[in-house]
Amino acid sequence: MMTGTEFVECFPLCHCEGPQSQFFGLTLGFWSSFAYFLAGILLFRRGRRKSLFEAWVFSVFVIGASSLVFHSTFSLVSVALDYASVSFSLSLFFVYNFFKALGFGPRRRYLALLIYYLILWAIFFRFPMWERVSICVLIFLVAMIDVIKRMEGSFFKQRSLLLSLGLGLSAFASFLLEELKLWCDPGLILQGHTLWHMLGAAALYFYGRWRFPRS
């Protein structure tokens, strides 16, 4: 019976980083997770104080926190939290609006979102790596349908959205290249997973700029 404290299935070869990329005994994958906190802070400073905005910025911080936990423990429970956090942020808008359409007040909405996050964690806890990736891709595609429905004007005129998509797809490509061992040279300091964090955080930032424009 799994308790969640076991190492994730890829351990100890989850990433391709060599000793030269470690600082204070922790990998660059750990340190690059702070990029999410930077993205969250920059978004929060934009000054929009609406419940959906605050919930989404909080989800960006949660991605950073779960990534730090995973890259310092490599446990099954932490990898499930990592995937759940990414999926939660991707799907937050249409899930939030779904609960709002059901007539949920702010408090009930937040409670429903917490339950939804825990359900995601339970799902990812039970599936191996490539099934987890497939679920994330499916959630991303559903999120894109929601984006297209809410988009005003030509797609190619949405500068921040285009930047977000370009950076996000580049981040995912970097992630896949390392996971497939096509970009896996321990002699290099910069690896695909580090770029996944940095480019992914930038993608979230520009998506926030598009979703919550200043007046």
pLDDT digits (tens, 9 = 90+) for 163-194: 999 999 999 999 999 888 888 887 777 888 99
Asked whether residue 116 is domain-assigned, the answer is yes
Among residues 149, 202, 205, 143, the alpha carbon closest in space to that of 172 is found at: 202
Number of separate domains in the chain: 1
pLDDT at 19: 63
Asked whether residue 4 is domain-assigned, the answer is no
Asked whether residue 111 is domain-assigned, the answer is yes
Asked whether residue 139 is domain-assigned, the answer is yes
Residue 115 sits in which domain range? 19-211
- Residue 47 to residue 53: CA distance in whole angstroms: 10
Asked whether residue 10 is domain-assigned, the answer is no
- Residue 112 to residue 106: CA distance in whole angstroms: 10
Q: In angstroms, how far is CA 129 from the centroid of its own chain? A: 15
Alpha helices in the chain (DSSP H): 28-31, 34-44, 51-73, 76-101, 106-126, 129-150, 159-179, 192-211
Asked whether residue 58 is domain-assigned, the answer is yes
Asked whether residue 14 is domain-assigned, the answer is no
Kindly state the tokens that stand for 21: 């990329």
pLDDT at 3: 52
Asked whether residue 2 is domain-assigned, the answer is no
pLDDT at 163: 95
Kindly state the tokens that stand for 105: 């007040």
CB atoms within 10 A of CB 123: 16
- Residue 5 to residue 17: CA distance in whole angstroms: 23
As averages over each run of 10 residues, the pLDDT of the chain (215 residues) reads: 63 70 76 95 80 89 96 90 95 90 88 94 90 94 87 78 95 93 81 93 94 78
Among residues 171, 71, 88, the alpha carbon closest in space to that of 124 is found at: 88
